[in-house]
């Protein structure tokens, strides 16, 4: 399958770069087949040479790609992720940490999300892709993916006083050769050198830059934790097929915002709620009859992940009726299992917080960083919003 993807990719690229050669070859073959030129040897030879040259070039380059792809491997950074200090104004944001993972967040932005403030969306029409050797390697690595979905990146800084948020289309594979280099080195077998310079793409002058200065894809991540009316918090375990958080516990829905999640009249909170709902329904295997309304999804916070070059991530909570998590379809490649945190709804917010605290204490070494941040966001929401318990039905 991977070899076929490589061949098709090379064919499309060769066709674009050598359109006239392809057209001439096809025309000459048609002329020969329908007999417009009689039995001219010239047309037959010219057609075969034109088509044969194209086939040879495609096969040669596809073979080279395949051989190189077989030599490329990734290695988790033995000394921990690449984490730099931030440029202003992010250097003044509050830091959240777990083990070697870091993020920064701003309580003022989080409050705007919780209160449902309508933040307009500006769309940048151009597709964003990395440049130079980062783009060359992206084209090669994308064939390993089940699908290279269109994602949404943050193209300008989103701050506490921002009236709008600026979004741009990108593709998931761009993440593999930019933000993800904070966690993993890409190497070729037989060499100790990284194929790509991680600090070159992640940092500027040793610091994590603002978004308008960043060389990373910075596609929007979302995490949402489902809390059901019958007293359950639903947690998933990521499988080895995930690009990050492999084998670790994660939120009920953990992924990223697809370009298709964005509708024409959307503002930010609606877009986030829709993306969170989709991820949660996919990963919990919810039936269509169990799909909650968008009003049952509440974005709670925003953070930049320092160990991923400042990648933007949004967090939320979902209010569910009684529902059972079950892995189905392609999600079985990314979700190994579901866990449940039980609590007594009749004992209110304090009981819920106690159960979250106990779960984190017992599973600290199994937790993904996004799940830890999501728990933090929920705790703060419950502690600071008098209406939080009522919203959850407690």
Please provide the size of the chain in residues: 394
294: which residues sit within 8 A by CB, 6+ positions away? 270, 273, 274, 277
The per-residue pLDDT for 328 is 45
Query: Which stretch of 325-339, 353-367, 369-383 has the lowest confidence by average pLDDT?
Result: 325-339
Mean pLDDT over the full length of the chain: 85
The model's pLDDT over 194-222, given as tens digits with 9 standing for 90+, comes to 999 999 999 999 999 999 999 999 999 99
Alpha helices in 18-156 (DSSP H): 19-34, 41-71, 107-114, 132-141
The alpha carbons of the chain give a radius of gyration, in whole angstroms, of 25
Decide which of 216 and 330 is more confident: 216
The model's pLDDT over 228-239, given as tens digits with 9 standing for 90+, comes to 988 989 898 876
d(CA 313, CA 310): 9
DSSP 265-283: T-BHHHHHHHHHHHHHHHH
Judge whether residue 330 has pLDDT over 50: no
Which pLDDT band, with edges at 50, 70 and 90, does 142 fall under? confident
The per-residue pLDDT for 335 is 46
**Sign of the torsion formed by the C-alpha atoms of 151, 154, 158 and 163:** negative
Domain spans, the chain: 2-71, 219-392
Query: Which stretch of 18-27, 67-76, 172-181 has the lowest confidence by average pLDDT?
Result: 18-27
Which pLDDT band, with edges at 50, 70 and 90, does 345 fall under? very high
Which pLDDT band, with edges at 50, 70 and 90, does 71 fall under? confident
The model's pLDDT over 242-291, given as tens digits with 9 standing for 90+, comes to 556 667 899 999 999 999 999 999 999 999 999 999 999 988 888 777 78
Query: Which stretch of 22-31, 77-86, 98-107, 227-236 has the lowest confidence by average pLDDT?
Result: 22-31
Select from 252, 258, 261, 228 the least CA-distant residue to 335: 252
Q: What is the mean pLDDT of residues 84-93?
A: 96
Q: Yes or no: say if 156 and 211 are a contact pair by the CB < 8 Å rule.
A: yes
Q: Yes or no: say if 186 and 68 are a contact pair by the CB < 8 Å rule.
A: no
SS3 207: strand
Select from 84, 77, 76 the least CA-distant residue to 214: 84
Q: What is the mean pLDDT of residues 291-311?
A: 96
Strand 164-171 versus strand 150-154 pairing type:
antiparallel
Element (H, E) at 381: helix 369-384
- Position of tokens 């792809």? 69
Judge whether residue 16 has pLDDT over 90: no
Judge whether residue 383 has pLDDT over 80: yes
Q: Yes or no: say if 238 and 247 are a contact pair by the CB < 8 Å rule.
A: yes
The per-residue pLDDT for 238 is 77
Q: What is the mean pLDDT of residues 319-326?
A: 67
Q: Yes or no: say if 133 and 197 are a contact pair by the CB < 8 Å rule.
A: no
Structure tokens of 306?
């320092």
153: which residues sit within 8 A by CB, 6+ positions away? 128, 167, 168, 169, 170, 217, 218, 219, 220
Judge whether residue 89 has pLDDT over 60: yes
Number of helical H runs and strand E runs in the chain: 11, 16
Select from 149, 277, 268, 295 the least CA-distant residue to 223: 277
User: What share of the chain in percent tops pLDDT 70?
Assistant: 76
The per-residue pLDDT for 22 is 58
Structure tokens of 22?
């392809």
Q: Yes or no: say if 181 and 203 are a contact pair by the CB < 8 Å rule.
A: no
Q: Say if residue 191 is exposed, middle or buried (CB neighbours under 10 Å; 0-12, 13-18, 19+).
A: exposed
CA angle 67/242/2 to nearest 5° reads 30
User: What share of the chain in percent tops pLDDT 90?
Assistant: 60
Pick the most confident of 44-48, 54-58, 104-108.
Answer: 104-108
Distance of CA 157 to the CA centre of its chain: 18
The per-residue pLDDT for 192 is 78
Select from 347, 355, 360 the least CA-distant residue to 389: 347
d(CA 222, CA 139): 25
CATH 3.90.79.10 is the classification of domain 219-392: yes
Decide which of 58 and 38 is more confident: 58
d(CA 253, CA 48): 54
The per-residue pLDDT for 26 is 63
Judge whether residue 148 has pLDDT over 60: yes
Element (H, E) at 336: strand 335-342
């Amino acid at each position: 399958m991977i070899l076929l993807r490589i061949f098709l990719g090379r064919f499309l690229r060769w066709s674009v770069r050598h359109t006239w050669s392809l057209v001439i070859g096809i025309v000459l073959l048609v002329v020969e087949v329908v007999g417009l030129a009689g039995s001219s040897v010239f047309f037959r030879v010219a057609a075969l040479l034109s088509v044969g040259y194209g086939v040879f070039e495609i096969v040669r380059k596809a073979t080279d790609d395949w051989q190189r792809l077989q030599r490329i491997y990734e290695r988790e950074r033995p000394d921990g992720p690449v984490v730099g200090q931030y440029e202003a104004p992010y250097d003044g944001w509050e830091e959240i940490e777990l083990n070697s993972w870091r993020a920064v967040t701003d309580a003022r932005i989080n409050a705007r999300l919780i209160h449902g403030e309508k933040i307009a969306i500006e769309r940048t029409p151009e597709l964003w892709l990395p440049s130079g050797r980062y783009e060359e390697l992206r084209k090669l690595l994308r064939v390993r993916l089940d699908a290279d979905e269109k994602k949404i990146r943050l193209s300008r800084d989103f701050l506490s006083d921002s009236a709008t948020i600026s979004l741009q289309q990108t593709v998931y594979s761009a993440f593999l050769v930019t933000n993800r280099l904070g966690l993993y080195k890409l190497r070729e077998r037989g060499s100790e050198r990284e194929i790509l310079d991680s600090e070159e793409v992640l940092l500027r002058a040793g610091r994590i830059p603002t978004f308008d200065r960043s060389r990373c894809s910075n596609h929007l991540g979302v995490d949402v934790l489902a809390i059901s009316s019958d007293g359950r918090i639903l947690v998933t375990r990521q499988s080895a097929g995930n690009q990050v958080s492999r084998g670790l516990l994660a939120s009920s829905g953990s992924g990223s915002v697809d370009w298709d999640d964005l509708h024409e009249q959307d503002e930010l909170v609606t877009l986030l709620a829709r993306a969170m709902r989709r991820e949660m329904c996919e990963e919990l295997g919810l039936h269509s009859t169990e799909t909650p309304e968008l009003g049952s999804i509440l974005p709670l916070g925003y953070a930049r992940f320092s160990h991923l070059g400042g990648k933007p991530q949004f967090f939320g909570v979902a209010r569910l009726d009684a529902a059972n998590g079950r892995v189905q379809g392609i999600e079985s490649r990314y979700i190994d299992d579901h866990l449940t945190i039980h609590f007594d709804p009749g004992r209110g917010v304090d009981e819920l917080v106690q159960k979250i605290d106990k779960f984190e204490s017992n599973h600290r070494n199994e937790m993904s960083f996004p799940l830890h941040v999501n728990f933090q966001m929920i705790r703060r929401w419950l502690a600071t919003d008098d209406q939080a318990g009522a919203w959850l039905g407690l």
